[in-house]
Amino acid sequence: MNITVPTSATNASTVCVNIEDSAISDFLMSVYILSFIFGLIFNVLTLRPIWHQMRRQNVLGIFLLNLSISDILFLLTMPLWINYYLKNHHWELGVITCSIAGFFYYSNMYISIYLLCSISVDRCLVVIDPLRSKTYRTSRYAWAQCFGVYIVVIVMHIMVLVHDNLKDAHDDINKNDRCYETYPMERPVALFNLLRVCLGFLLPLLVLAVSYWRVLATVGQSPGLSAQAKRKVRLLSFGSEQRGGPCVICAGQ
């Protein structure tokens, strides 16, 4: 499939990118298939131990439950995108289905990212100020934070549904419909997407980096912990974060 950009002078179309049968599409499809299979299996397997944590009103368990649910909803959209790449970027399910699939895909991806940030900040507070953090580390606080993440991300992506002009994603030359591959983008849409990337990836990356830097610094300077205890704290702090890896890998859509 050729992505075309109309020129104002000649009112013709110039081919910019040929993505039909591309190695990138095959690679993305392979990554999505593996992520769907392993991600779904591992997230379902983690639900039982997370539920045991929930029954004990564990704050981390609340974050992990919401993260698993978000990851599962995210993974359930992947067969649609796998089919899209299998068909060489031919979307055959209509504009409404494209909008709904994109809404759930991106919303749950960003929800997972922000929940991972919440977990990292929670782990950081436990390590650097365990006594004062007890005041805020309650199940009510954790649920409120999770719902806050849901509301912010969902409202933001409702704006995406309103402003993304997906009806223009029809390629009259190749008789082909695309999904979230409309080029050139209108300036407001392009700026909004740039802002979404900054707030959805760069800001969380900064939060994660600062949180774990504080954890490592605090643990390393603690005179009352043995080397083995320090290593255990580091592993526990990083362990909860590693389960978000598939979400980050699949963010290339």
Closest CA to 46 of 76, 70, 78: 70
Give a yes or no: residue 89 inside a domain: yes
Give a yes or no: residue 104 inside a domain: yes
Give a yes or no: residue 12 inside a domain: no
Report the domain count for the chain: 1
Residue 93 pLDDT: 81
**Amino acid (1-letter code) at residue 52:** H
The pLDDT tens digits of the residues spanning 212-246 come to 888 888 777 776 667 776 677 666 666 544 444 43
Closest CA to 152 of 119, 123, 187, 111: 111
Give a yes or no: residue 56 inside a domain: yes
The pLDDT tens digits of the residues spanning 1-26 come to 444 444 444 444 454 555 555 677 77
Give a yes or no: residue 62 inside a domain: yes
Q: What is the share, in percent, of the chain residues with pLDDT greater than 70?
A: 72
Q: SS3 letters for the chain?
A: CEEEEECCCCCCEEEEEECCCCHHHHHHHHHHHHHHHHHHHHHHHHHHHHHHHHHCCCHHHHHHHHHHHHHHHHHHCHHHHHHHHHCCCCCCCHHHHHHHHHHHHHHHHHHHHHHHHHHHHHHHHHHHCHHHHCCCCCHHHHHHHHHHHHHHHHHHHHHHHHHCCHHHCEECCCCEECCCCCCCCCHHHHHHHHHHHHHHHHHHHHHHHHHHHHHHHHHHHCCCCCHHHHHHHHHHHHHHHHCCHHHHHHHHC
Give a yes or no: residue 169 inside a domain: yes
The pLDDT tens digits of the residues spanning 145-159 come to 999 999 999 988 887
Give a yes or no: residue 52 inside a domain: yes
Residue 182 pLDDT: 65
Give a yes or no: residue 162 inside a domain: yes
* Mean pLDDT score across all residues of the chain: 76
Min mean pLDDT across 64-73, 129-138, 243-252 is at 243-252
Higher-pLDDT residue of 170 and 219 is: 219
Its domain, for residue 58, covers 2-7+17-252
Min mean pLDDT across 74-83, 128-137, 166-175, 188-197 is at 166-175
Closest CA to 193 of 174, 212, 180: 180
183: CATH:
1.20.1070.10
